[in-house]
A and B are shown apart, each in its own frame.
Chain A
Amino acid sequence: AQSVAQPEDQVNVAEGNPLTVKCTYSVSGNPYLFWYVQYPNRGLQFLLKYITGDNLVKGSYGFEAEFNKSQTSFHLKKPSALVSDSALYFCAVRDAGTDKLIFGTGTRLQVFP
């Protein structure tokens, strides 16, 4: 079965510093990977996705993600964190066989001024 794991419950980073939110995946076949963000009391918003091609994917709000097939990882990154980036981040994988969209447990990002 397809799955994703987010090993960190929380990531703390100072404003202006680079940030990384980790995600590893387990799939049979081609991986279709997504990152979403959830602000307090809101639904999830799509950030970016990896389908095929370039291993560095650029998305909304200055975020990017690096796909690494050998390490089965899809880490979310941003060169310079903002306080407004503080939110809950979810990694997800699409099961190409059933079309289910399976989410990780989420990582809370706290950016301190």
Chain B
Amino acid sequence: NAGVTQTPKFRVLKTGQSMTLLCAQDMNHEYMYWYRQDPGMGLRLIHYSVGEGTTAKGEVPDGYNVSRLKKQNFLLGLESAAPSQTSVYFCASSYPGAVTEAFFGQGTRLTVV
């Protein structure tokens, strides 16, 4: 069981470069999320999706875009990377509803220099 898989695991970008983080889940989950984790700030929600073709903003969406063209994939894009986007990024997925727990990927460590 692969669960939630994030690609890549590590990346170093120069300021102004762009990149896409890929999240894939094989559990047929409707909901998918992107979080960033920074020391002392916990996990903050960037964007999320409640179904194929839908996306919504979380707490810290600025500087990021997302797409959910297929149910199993959720892409997070950085159009012009900034040092403030240096972080560990986590993807998660869940079944619909308030009572369901989320399953997390292993994370992507991104450094912007």
Residues of A within 8 A of B (CB): 6, 9, 30, 32, 34, 36, 41-46, 49, 51, 90, 94-96, 98-106
Contacts and interface: CB of A to CB of B under 8 A. Distances in A.
B56 A42 contact: no
Contacts of B50: 99
B2 interface: no
Contact of B41 (A44, A96, A101, A105): A105
B45 interface: yes
26 contacts: A9-B40, A30-B98, A34-B101, A44-B90, A44-B92, A44-B102, A44-B104, A45-B104, A46-B101, A46-B102, A46-B103, A51-B99, A99-B96, A99-B98, A100-B48, A101-B33, A101-B45, A101-B92, A101-B102, A102-B45, A104-B42, A105-B40, A105-B41, A105-B42, A106-B42, A106-B43
Interface residues of B, number: 29
B45 A100 contact: yes
A42 to B, nearest CB: 6
A104 to B, nearest CB: 6
Contacts of A106: 42-43
Nearest to B50: A99
Given A46-B101, A49-B101, A51-B99, A101 B94 contact: yes
